Every structure is written in C-alpha cells, then in structure tokens.
Amino acid sequence: MAYTYQPPKFWSCDCDPTTGGHIIAGSYCACVYCGKRRSDLKDIIVPSGMGGVFSVKILDVEDACATVKVVNKANGFDQLAPFKVALKDIAPRWKQKSGASQ
C-alpha cells in the first residue's frame, strides 16, 4: 500500500502575537490573515519548563488552551503523555529561505 500524505490536524501562524497566533485546521494550507503557508512551517514549539522548548503537534484546541504531544525529541521526552498548553505559549518555527540573512 502506498503512503498517502496526512496533513496535521492543526497548525499555527504567528500573525497575532497577543493570542499566540492563529490555530488553523490542518485542511487549510494558508492563513487567511497573513498569507503564511503550512508548507513553510518547520515545526510548532512550546516552552518545556526547563529553559528550552519542545517540538509538538497539536491534538485538540479549546477556548484558552490546546492539547499537545511532544514529537521529534531525544531522551524520551516524546514518550510524555499529551498535555495542555496556553494558546499564547504556542509558537511556529518557520523554515529558512535559501539565501536569507539571519
């Protein structure tokens, strides 16, 4: 059976920093407010509580928080159970454009 691409259930852009950006359903490929595209998103990060960040996927969204699951982590952090994070703490990390200055 061939692999078929499954888009994430949700993704985020950063065009509204007062609320942590918009949480967008995975079926949409771009933010209607700022035009950022899901294909430019590298990953979604949240504070780890230990001075770093976790790369996460968003499982569910409520009024003031989202349920997230840690992904792409070493040292067993990806084995953590899903947990809730305030929407303002969710931030996207974008892919670098080739030739872009830092």
**Annotation: CATH topology of 10-94:** SH3 type barrels. (2.30.30)
Residues 37-96 pLDDT 10s: 888 888 889 998 888 889 999 999 888 889 999 988 667 888 889 999 998 888 888 888
This prediction's pTM: 0.77
Please check the confidence at residue 31 and state whether its pLDDT lies above 70. Answer: yes
Residue boundaries of the structural domains of the chain: 10-94
Confidence category of residue 25, pLDDT binned at 50, 70, 90: confident
Q: Are 80 and 13 in contact (CB under 8 A)?
A: no
Residues 47-59 pLDDT 10s: 988 888 899 999 9
Which of 45, 47, 41 lies closest to 26, judged by CA? 41
